Structure 1
Amino acid sequence: MKVVFHLFLFLLPILSSFWIAQTSNSLSSYQPLQSIDGAALYKKELTNGNEAYLQVINVGKMHIDQIIGEVDNMGLNEGKYYKGEGKYYSPFFKQKLFSEVTDEYKKLYGNNVFSMINCSFFEQYQSSSQLSFPIKLNGVVITGGTSPYGPIKEPKDKYYSNIRLKTLVWDNKQAYITDYNRVSGSPLNQNEVKNAIVTYQYSDHPAKVLAQNQVNKYQVIGTLDKDGVKGNELLLIITVKQATLDEAADLLRKLGVKGDIITVDGGRSTYLFNSQNGNIIVPKLSNVQENPTFRNLPHYLGFRKKSKNQVAPKISISQPAAKVLPKKDQPYLILWRDNLNGDVSIKLYDGDKLIQNISSRTASDGVYEWIPRISLKEGYSIRISSWNNRNIFGKLQF
């Protein structure tokens, strides 16, 4: 009996890797484009000439990075969706060109990179933008959101007075979608929740509600269980070129998704990159000069293997779009990207002179919430250095 049990344990990972193929006839109509241990990309030709792309991400084997532009302005007391209207900040994040973000991601993680998509809805089509809804990045809530199309006191359309926003939460074991409570901030206010985005249930997106369910490019996301044990290990992302949100969500239903389905930023901003197939869908330039462009975006999701990185250690920081000085006694978000295995130190300099040790040692997770207790001057800089090797650093110049 023990032999049979151990054989089952040995075969379980092998059997689970074929989970979708064995349990869903729908996947047989998808063309495989790339498959690695932990992720797969498929393409499906739809009857109306549209194309749909499916990504299957196993969160136990893949790392999900939130990539966000540096802060221009903290937007103090402008947040509308985290713990009460006007009680949290809603920063302006630098809009970053999709090709630059992808190039940097590949330089940091090399062959471990699998794919990248655009993510959060944003508010302004300028050099920097506020985001529509709250985000938690590696343990820090970095924005309270500012969208007028949500459950606030005076939304732009009465439909949005009482809608339930949804939260996508993930860690290294599972991903799930649940209701968002803008009064308590749940689930973002929970210590165990490290990464999460708040967004629309697909059926509440303005394109469906206010624009008569128009055909467009969309990204919809659902979660799925693969092994029968409580908890959804699979993140399923469908990207469509020309379809309604209903049609996009229906593709996930046919693959077995039974829970909530959300949508993230789409339309002209839609972006899908894959390491083997390159840029599959790119944000478009406007044909009309006075209209905004959509190639610069504030928030992306990157997917990469968790295996050891073969790229040289590096810390990347971009300058904000505008000249910004953090203010005394007010919060400021220090954001960076790195591929380090160890911690970092964060220090404030005036030229080569050390002014303040902001943090002698903190996690190399790309975010640090800082409240300066001194007045900063132009010419000061923040240096983020590898704790193990101070010669590896990135610098943010004020």
Structure 2
Amino acid sequence: MNAVISFLFFVIPLLTSIYIAQVSNPLSSYQPLHVIDGAGLYKKELTNANTAYLQIIDLRKMRIDQVIGEVDNMGNAQGKYYKGEGGSYSPYFKNKLFSQVNDEYKKLYGNDVFSMINCSFFEQYQSSTQLSFPIKFNGVVITGGHSPYGPVKKPESEFYRTIRLKALVWDKKQAYITDYDPASGAPLNQTAVKNAIVSYQYSDHPAKVLANNQVNRYQVIGTLNKDNRQGNEQLLIMTVNQTTLDEAAKLLRQLGVKGDIITVDGGRSTYLFNSKVGDIILPQLSNPQENPTFRDLPHYLGVRKVGTQKVVPQILIDQPVGKVQVEQNRPYLILWRDNINSDVSIKLSDRNNKTIQNISTHTASDGVYEWTPNIAVKEGYTIRVTSRENQKIFGNLKL
């Protein structure tokens, strides 16, 4: 009898400690797939063959890059959400095949690449498309958004006329989600904000509001503070393959997310890649008989370690799908991707490669430059982005 009592006194505290450990560590129910210093990818099997994939990104050790298709048409005065209807441009960005974007990203950053997802909602299922909501990319607001499901005078549904959109803002230390103000553009109008996307709070997504909280693929994002210092240094991205938005958001709440939770583009467009696991969820075409690997999207988020590997310096520019329209006295966004540390110069050349204009002799190699030409720009001219340290490193955009 004494032996039994002694055994129980040993086993019960042990089981209790295991239970407490599991409760205090919500990650204990997730299977780690790829964990490095600064980032982790985890998997959790849900009911009814549903699967959740969780990314935890420490912004102090990782970088999040926006990868965006080049512009063919600026959509002048078509932006609806940045400082009022028609108060800004809403460009048509090239839809880019996810495998091409992934390959380019790995060319630029090699083994530093951790993951990639699709991001912004988009409007047209064509070769180039407008984006639903505003984006700020390395200090420049590149689109005012164009969705009919937002705070416009005549939305597709009356629910969205006064909807409060949310902005996800991040830098090299922290991230936060806050209200977006379409009248002022806040917080995107703040100089200190360099990168931000505007989107739905998960509970305002049309799939929940108009489609009865339907089961689908979703990606939801929240932020978390784990170091007990001011600011949320962790970004949590939850990708689910077959569940509701409520259930996806609940998974983030269980991990400790207390603030707002937003959605990014999901459904058939959902894409999730990890450098160790490979392609996890692929975009699907509307016709299930077609090859699901052929799907183009306009906006991605790439996650990588901070410059630990030496790579070949490159400046990459792709030709937009249509004829590039650059008009005198109207803004145009020059977009490129690079992995160089030096600044760049940008010039306009004619068909004979003769310099017509120095657009910028010195600007940051951050992938974006808003240019308003004060001269007529002719077909066949070329925009060249060149490293200031090495003139052999450049990218060309033919107009």
TM tier, shorter chain? over 0.9
Asked if the contact 1:217/1:270 (under 8 Å) is kept, the reply is: yes
Cα 1:163/1:113, change in 2 over 3 Å: same
Does 2:297 align with 1:297? yes
One-letter identity of the residue aligned with 1:113: V
One-letter identity of the residue aligned with 1:286: S
Structure 2 Cα separation of the partners of residues 123 and 260 of structure 1:
24
Aligned to 1:53: 53
Q: Please, which runs of 5 or more residues in structure 2 have no aligned partner?
A: 1-20
Aligned residue-pair number: 377
Deviation sequence 1:246-285 (CA, Å, 0-9, x none): 0000000000000000000000000000000000000012
Task: Compare 187-196 and 346-355 and name the one that shifted more.
Answer: 346-355
Q: CA deviation at 1:161?
A: 1.3
Asked if the contact 1:325/1:376 (under 8 Å) is kept, the reply is: no
One-letter identity of the residue aligned with 2:246: D
Does 2:219 align with 1:233? no
One-letter identity of the residue aligned with 2:35: S
One-letter identity of the residue aligned with 1:78: Q
Aligned to 1:9: none
Q: CA deviation at 1:317?
A: 0.2
1:127-276 correspondence to structure 2 within 5 Å: 127-276=127-276
Aligned to 2:374: 373
Cα 1:254/1:352, change in 2 over 3 Å: same
Does 2:74 align with 1:74? yes
Does 2:32 align with 1:36? no
3-state secondary structure, aligned to 1:312? coil
Larger radius of gyration: 2
Q: CA deviation at 1:24?
A: 4.0
Structure 1 Cα separation of the partners of residues 288 and 55 of structure 2:
33
Task: Compare 25-34 and 326-335 and name the one that shifted more.
Answer: 25-34
> How much is the aligned-residue C-alpha RMSD, in angstroms?
1.6
Deviation sequence 1:234-257 (CA, Å, 0-9, x none): 000000000000000000000000
Q: CA deviation at 1:294?
A: 7.6
Identity of aligned residues (%): 73
Q: CA deviation at 1:288?
A: 6.4
One-letter identity of the residue aligned with 2:96: K
Structure 1 Cα separation of the partners of residues 68 and 386 of structure 2:
20
Cα 1:276/1:289, change in 2 over 3 Å: closer
Superposition TM-score, scaled by structure 1 size? 0.93
Structure 2 Cα separation of the partners of residues 284 and 373 of structure 1:
43
Cα 1:24/1:69, change in 2 over 3 Å: farther
Asked if the contact 1:286/1:294 (under 8 Å) is kept, the reply is: no
One-letter identity of the residue aligned with 1:56: I
Structure 1 Cα separation of the partners of residues 184 and 136 of structure 2:
14
Cα 1:87/1:28, change in 2 over 3 Å: same
1:314-353 correspondence to structure 2 within 5 Å: 314-350=314-350, 351-353=352-354
Structure 2 Cα separation of the partners of residues 293 and 205 of structure 1:
26
Cα 1:275/1:341, change in 2 over 3 Å: same
3-state secondary structure, aligned to 1:361? strand
Deviation sequence 1:132-188 (CA, Å, 0-9, x none): 000000000000001000111111001111111000000011100000000000000
One-letter identity of the residue aligned with 1:186: A
Q: Please, which runs of 5 or more residues in structure 1 have no aligned partner?
A: 1-20
Deviation sequence 1:317-338 (CA, Å, 0-9, x none): 0000001131000000000000
Does 2:35 align with 1:65? no
Asked if the contact 1:268/1:294 (under 8 Å) is kept, the reply is: no
Structure 2 Cα separation of the partners of residues 289 and 48 of structure 1:
25
One-letter identity of the residue aligned with 2:393: I
3-state secondary structure, aligned to 2:33? strand
Asked if the contact 1:269/1:294 (under 8 Å) is kept, the reply is: no
One-letter identity of the residue aligned with 2:103: D
Asked if the contact 1:81/1:134 (under 8 Å) is kept, the reply is: yes
1:104-119 correspondence to structure 2 within 5 Å: 104-119=104-119
Structure 1 Cα separation of the partners of residues 264 and 56 of structure 2:
16
Cα 1:295/1:104, change in 2 over 3 Å: same
Superposition TM-score, scaled by structure 2 size? 0.92
